Amino acid sequence: MGSDDSARPRHPLTSANAPLFALVVFSLIVLFSSTPSTSPSPSSLSSLSDVNELLAEKSSLEISILQLEAQKNGVYSSLRSSDDARAAQMREENKKLEALLEEQKRLEELLEKQKEEQEKLAAVAPATTTTTTTSSSSHAVFTPSTPGNPLSSPSQSIVNFPCPLRDSPPDDACTLKCKDATCSRAETTCSAYVECTHIVYSKETGGDMSDATATLMHEKRAADTGEMRAAFDALVSQGKLGTSVRPRIYVIVSYGGSGSKMLSGWINDQSRASVKDVRHMHDPNPPNPLRKFGTPLNAASHQADYRDRHIPGGMFPGPTAQAIPESEYEDYRFIYIFKDPVEGLVSRYGRGHCLHVGGDCPEDANFPLLDDYAKKGEDFFKIGYFFDQWTTKDETRKYPVLAVNYHKIWDNVETLVEALGLPPECAKTFPKRTETVRNDDTAIADGAGKPGGINMAHTEEVRVMLREMYDDVRQKIFQFPAVSFV
């Protein structure tokens, strides 16, 4: 019996409909092929001037997504009406459709990232607006002809600060050699220092700055103590913090290279009417509960240079040590002092120190030099973990931790003294800030016997890698107040 082709339902891909479907598939292929396959580089999202470009790109992406949706719906309609005779062809078209949907997903993710970046840029826009001539990072810039130059017209509010990268005296200033025509080094270094708010050049900008110097300076800023005061009062009302001056045991904690020896030594020099004992710890884990310290093998020493002193410490007592009743917790003050880990590691690096701070330390034979450590980018010192452990609130911990930002304490010494529970007059004896010079010049001077005749640990090249490695911790330190209770 013969078949009647005219009685069979016509497939939408046959005869007259075939050109229409071909047109749809061709449109999909063209659209898919012309869609960018890579996201914009981070550098394209780096400044406020890119906001308009982001908005235009966002609009373009949204239009592309709408087009993709419309084309996708047309393909779905064709797929639903396919029959066995066209199954193989439909499978091929379905693969193209899956690729199309994957591309749509990528576009949507890219759009979301651009929206987030736009919001970030908009959020910082007010902070970068200033009436003072500024560099790209909004540091105030002065040249010899600038009115109010703080070097030629000393100011009480814009002051020097010492830095490890300084090339020229005095020791309490941060004066750098420019070394290149634009003196880009000054801007890069200023951006890396929490303290730096002003760059003062030794000559007018615009010409060759290779032989010039730049002095990085700091605008003194007393902390807004409102939040710290509220926390202080709350702890007092809860009975966790006393306001009276009395002999206490001061426990200073750090991951090293953060001024903890200086702070420990200075507190230990105070009257025994205020200070009963001082311990200097490198333990990343806050004790919970508190346990009594044992008798130290060696008592604290009293050299003139705090860096040469010995203060008993190490890790906290283990679970077999005697627990301290909570009623006696007020006899203790726990202080966590922290500093940019980049400079901390440049000054204190080695397997011994890694073990002291509870790191996951390779054996001696495999322990890398600092430059190799920076290149690898793996924080086996666990500095990020250390920082978060001591700066994150823990409801089960029955004692407060005083968090001290090394970079900001010299503007807020009186506030620090009050938070420590020491007599106000102690502020007058607080140590002057010092920083040991470690830069490219000392790297060469200290390089005898080292690979390439240079101590890479001192170099700015290594610092750049360490800053990238510890960017998360460094950003937290930039934002942390001078003194706060955790």
Shared-domain flag, residues 338 and 294: yes
Is the pLDDT confidence value at 13 over 50?
no
Does the residue 8 lie in any domain? no
Mean pLDDT, rounded, of the chain: 80
Does the residue 135 lie in any domain? no
Angstrom CA distances, 121 to 42, 46, 108, 118, 133, stand at 13, 8, 20, 5, 21
Report yes or no: 429 and 269 within 8 Å, Cβ to Cβ: yes
Does the residue 112 lie in any domain? yes
Shared-domain flag, residues 105 and 145: no
Helix (H, G, I), strand (E, B) or coil at 338: strand
Does the residue 1 lie in any domain? no
Question: Picking from 113-117, 278-282, 439-443, which range would have the lowest pLDDT averaged per residue?
Answer: 113-117
Shared-domain flag, residues 209 and 300: no
Ramachandran bin of 138, using left for φ above 0, alpha for ψ from -120 to 50, beta for the remaining angles: left
pLDDT band at 85 (very low <50, low <70, confident <90, very high): low
Q: What is the pLDDT at residue 113?
A: 60
Helix (H, G, I), strand (E, B) or coil at 417: helix
Shared-domain flag, residues 209 and 231: no
The alpha carbon torsion through 81, 87, 90, 92 (nearest 10 deg) reads 170
Does the residue 4 lie in any domain? no
Report yes or no: 176 and 213 within 8 Å, Cβ to Cβ: yes
Does the residue 3 lie in any domain? no
| Cβ neighbourhood burial of 112 (10 Å; 0-12, 13-18, 19+) | exposed
Q: Give CA–CA dist 88/298, Å, rounded.
A: 84
pLDDT band at 103 (very low <50, low <70, confident <90, very high): low
Report phi then psi at 483, rounded to 5.
Answer: -140, 130
Q: Give CA–CA dist 92/105, Å, rounded.
A: 20
Shared-domain flag, residues 165 and 241: no
User: What percentage of the chain has pLDDT greater than the value 90?
Assistant: 55
Shared-domain flag, residues 112 and 176: no
Shared-domain flag, residues 91 and 184: no
Q: What is the pLDDT at residue 181?
A: 95
Is the pLDDT confidence value at 14 over 50?
no
Shared-domain flag, residues 113 and 249: no
Positive or negative, the Cα torsion across 378, 383, 385, 387?
A: negative
Q: What is the pLDDT at residue 126?
A: 34
Q: Give CA–CA dist 409/422, Å, rounded.
A: 15
Shared-domain flag, residues 108 and 192: no
Question: Picking from 90-99, 158-167, 326-335, which range would have the lowest pLDDT averaged per residue?
Answer: 90-99
Is the pLDDT confidence value at 288 over 60?
yes
Of 161, 193, 219, the residue that ends a domain is 219
Task: Indicate the pTM of the whole model.
Answer: 0.70
DSSP H or E segment with residue 332: strand 332-338
Is the pLDDT confidence value at 39 over 50?
no
Q: What pLDDT, in 10s, does the model give residues 356-375? A: 999 999 999 999 999 999 99
- Note down the domain range covering 146: 140-219
244 contact partners, CB below 8 Å, separation of at least 6: 421
Question: Picking from 65-79, 293-307, 323-337, which range would have the lowest pLDDT averaged per residue?
Answer: 65-79
Is the pLDDT confidence value at 261 over 50?
yes
Split into its structural domains, the chain has a count of 3
Does the residue 17 lie in any domain? yes
Of 108, 128, 148, the residue that ends a domain is 128
Shared-domain flag, residues 248 and 172: no
Strand order from edge to edge, sheet including 313-314: 313-314, 275-281, 248-253, 332-338, 401-405, 483-485
Report phi then psi at 376, rounded to 5.
Answer: -70, -35
Shared-domain flag, residues 87 and 211: no
pLDDT band at 41 (very low <50, low <70, confident <90, very high): very low
Is the pLDDT confidence value at 313 over 50?
yes
SS3 per-residue string spanning 151-208 = CCCCCCCEEECCCCCCCECCCCCEEEECCCCCCHHHHHHHHHCCCCCEEEECCCECEC
Shared-domain flag, residues 192 and 259: no
Does the residue 380 lie in any domain? yes
Among candidates 171, 179, 172, 176, which has minimal Cα distance to 189? Answer: 176
In sequence order, what are the beta bridge partners of 217? 160, 198
Helix (H, G, I), strand (E, B) or coil at 249: strand
Of 128, 157, 192, the residue that ends a domain is 128
8-state DSSP, 15: G
In sequence order, what are the beta bridge partners of 332? 249
16 contact partners, CB below 8 Å, separation of at least 6: none
Q: What pLDDT, in 10s, does the model give residues 425-477? A: 999 999 999 999 999 999 999 888 877 889 999 999 999 999 999 999 999 99
Among candidates 149, 153, 179, 175, which has minimal Cα distance to 162? Answer: 175
8-state DSSP, 91: H
Is the pLDDT confidence value at 320 over 90?
yes
364 contact partners, CB below 8 Å, separation of at least 6: 351
Q: Give CA–CA dist 40/111, Å, rounded.
A: 11
